[in-house]
Amino acid sequence: MERLIPRLRVSSVHDIDLDKLAEQGIRGIITDLDNTLVGAKVPEATPELAAWLKEVDRRGFKVVIVSNNDHTRVSRFAVPLDLPFIHAARKPAQRAFRQALSLMGLKPDQTAVIGDQMLTDVLGGNRLGLFTILVQPIAIQDEGWGTRINRRIERYATARLKRRGLWQEEEKR
Ligand SMILES: [Mg+2]
């Protein structure tokens, strides 16, 4: 259960303190796509997100998109941004995370994972010892049935973690 706890919780990627990440020795970011960078039904980056990615790049972070979605979806998003990606990643399985690490040439303790799901992004990242960052999903109404089931498990898990004092109500900033 503790493996579902992210190291950091924020509202969106824009709330991540990039200076602090760099200070911690983080040099690469593995990021989820759907409902993390854009809504699950938004095909391309918004101008705000493109600006954020540019800032991330300017600061020297490497970025790989790791998504459980299919090639059509992920490539249409990632190719215009010139970002490497891994599709059909089967998170929380570790294979795609390891592939992303080797693409970046980084170790787990130099890498953050950003995602909106505890059962895929956070669990997979924590298992490998990556710095896990949970964002709030951008558009919950567009999620498929598999994700809806995961959300129910997330609610159950956070309720239990709260009872054990392992999950604070307030988001950390
Ligand atoms: Mg997602």
| Region class of 88: left (phi > 0), else alpha (psi between -120 and 50), else beta | left
Q: Model confidence over 113-172: pLDDT tens digits?
A: 999 999 999 999 999 999 999 999 998 888 888 899 999 999 999 999 999 999 987 654
- So what's the pLDDT on residue 56? 98
Closest-CA residue to 59 (of 34, 26, 103): 26
In which order are the strands placed within the sheet that holds 8-10? Answer: 8-10, 131-135, 111-115, 28-31, 62-66, 85-86
* Ligand 1 midpoint to CA 93 (Å): 15
For residue 31, pLDDT over 70 is answered with yes
CATH of 2-163, one of 3.30.830.10, 3.40.50.620, 3.40.50.1000, 3.20.20.70: 3.40.50.1000
Q: Model confidence over 71-127: pLDDT tens digits?
A: 999 999 999 999 999 999 999 999 999 999 999 999 999 999 999 999 999 999 999
* Ligand 1 midpoint to CA 104 (Å): 21
* Ligand 1 midpoint to CA 51 (Å): 20
* Ligand 1 midpoint to CA 27 (Å): 22
Q: How far apart are CA 76 and CA 84, in angstroms?
A: 12
Percent of all residues in the chain with a pLDDT value above 90, rounded to a whole number: 91
Mean pLDDT estimate for the chain = 95
